[in-house]
Each structure stands twice: as structure tokens, then as C-alpha cells.
């Protein structure tokens, strides 16, 4: 028997294991979410000599990086649940050093499309409370529509503009 049979089995086993895991993960009733070009854009160059020829897309989403806003959708409680240490006030002199050394944590972010948070945001927008601020954020605008797509992120909402 070939000395390389073990290597062959390991390789085929690994690839087979990945296929089986994907098959298991995709089992059950599929749930379909239809996205349009407003939310999903084609990305990547296809014309260069050695480029990867696979079509790639990326999802447009709106990060909520404003510190005051972040305290609403990612409060201390959620941060502690994720494993971060949050005892030190953000304004303390040593806060930058302490929080700067914190290790990143693994967390899942769920996006919500046109759900209750969107309605809440619509209400806020109608009230005009944050319209001006929002317009200055790093959003992708689409002249044909003025709709907002709120997306749930870590238990609170983030939003993408279409």
C-alpha cells in the first residue's frame, strides 16, 4: 500500500467533512430574503489579467459609530455579556489604555430588514429629531428613493440607507 494513503485520506476526509457540514447547515426549510441592488452591490475587479473571476457582492450597511448613538444600541450590559470589562468610566484618564488593551470578542450580528426598528426610525425621522445628523453620516444615497432600511445589530439597530 502506498505510503501516501494516509495523506490522501486526510485530504479527502477534510473536504468531505466540509461538504457534509455545509449540507447539514443548509438542511431544513429554506427561508428566503429578497434583496435588491439597493442593499447588495457587485464588488471586485474582473478585468485584470490574473483576477479571481468569481462574481462577488457586498452588503451595504450603515455602521453606527457615533459614541452617543452607540451607547443606545450597544450599552454596557451588552458589552459585559460579550465578555468585555466595562467598570471604568469612559472619561477616566486610564480608560484609553485599559480599553485599548482589551481583546476583541466573537459576537454574531443580526441585520433586520424593514422591521419594527425601521418603523421606530421612521417615526424619529418624521419628527425631524435627527434628520440633519443622519444626512451627514456615511450613507450611500439613492436619488430615486428615500427609504431607510434599519438593521438589527447586537440587539439594537443599525441602519442602511437606500
| Contact call for residue 95 and other proteins (CB under 8 A) | no
Cell numbers 457534509: residue: 20
Helix, strand, coil percent content, the chain, rounded in steps of 5: 35, 10, 50
| Contact call for residue 82 and other proteins (CB under 8 A) | yes
| Contact call for residue 110 and other proteins (CB under 8 A) | no
The residue among 9 and 129 lying less far from other proteins, judged by its C-beta, is 9
| Contact call for residue 13 and other proteins (CB under 8 A) | yes
CA nearest to 144, candidates 38, 55, 41: 38
| Contact call for residue 43 and other proteins (CB under 8 A) | no
Among residues 17, 44, 63, 116, the one that binds other proteins under rule CB under 8 A = 17
What whole-number distance in Å separates Cα of residue 55 and Cα of residue 49?
A: 15
Q: What 3-state class would DSSP assign to 47?
A: coil
Looking at 4-12, 28-36, 116-124, 127-135, which segment touches other proteins (CB under 8 A)?
4-12
- What single DSSP character describes residue 128? T
Q: Are 96 and 88 in contact (CB under 8 A)?
A: no
Per-residue binding string, other proteins, 22-41, x by CB under 8 A, is x-------------------
What whole-number distance in Å separates Cα of residue 123 and Cα of residue 128?
A: 9
Cell digits of residue 90: 469612559
| Contact call for residue 4 and other proteins (CB under 8 A) | yes
Q: Are 142 and 36 in contact (CB under 8 A)?
A: no
Looking at 15-23, 71-79, 112-120, 154-162, which segment touches other proteins (CB under 8 A)?
15-23
| Contact call for residue 126 and other proteins (CB under 8 A) | no
Binding site for other proteins (CB under 8 A): 2-4, 6-8, 10-15, 17-19, 21-22, 50-55, 82-83, 97, 101, 103-106
Amino acid at each position: 500500500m502506498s505510503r501516501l494513503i494516509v495523506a490522501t485520506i486526510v485530504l479527502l476526509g477534510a473536504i468531505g467533512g466540509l461538504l457534509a457540514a455545509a449540507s447539514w447547515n443548509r438542511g431544513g426549510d429554506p427561508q428566503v430574503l429578497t434583496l435588491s441592488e439597493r442593499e447588495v452591490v457587485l464588488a471586485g475587479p474582473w478585468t485584470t489579467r490574473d483576477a479571481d473571476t468569481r462574481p462577488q457582492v457586498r452588503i451595504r450597511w450603515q455602521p453606527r459609530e457615533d459614541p452617543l448613538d452607540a451607547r443606545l444600541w450597544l450599552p454596557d450590559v451588552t458589552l459585559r455579556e460579550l465578555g468585555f470589562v466595562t467598570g471604568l468610566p469612559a472619561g477616566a484618564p486610564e480608560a484609553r489604555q485599559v480599553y485599548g488593551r482589551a481583546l476583541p470578542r466573537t459576537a454574531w450580528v443580526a441585520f433586520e430588514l424593514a422591521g419594527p426598528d425601521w418603523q421606530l426610525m421612521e417615526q424619529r425621522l418624521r419628527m425631524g429629531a435627527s434628520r440633519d445628523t443622519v444626512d451627514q453620516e456615511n450613507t450611500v444615497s439613492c436619488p430615486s428613493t428615500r427609504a431607510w432600511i434599519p438593521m438589527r445589530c447586537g440587539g439594537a439597530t443599525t441602519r442602511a440607507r437606500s
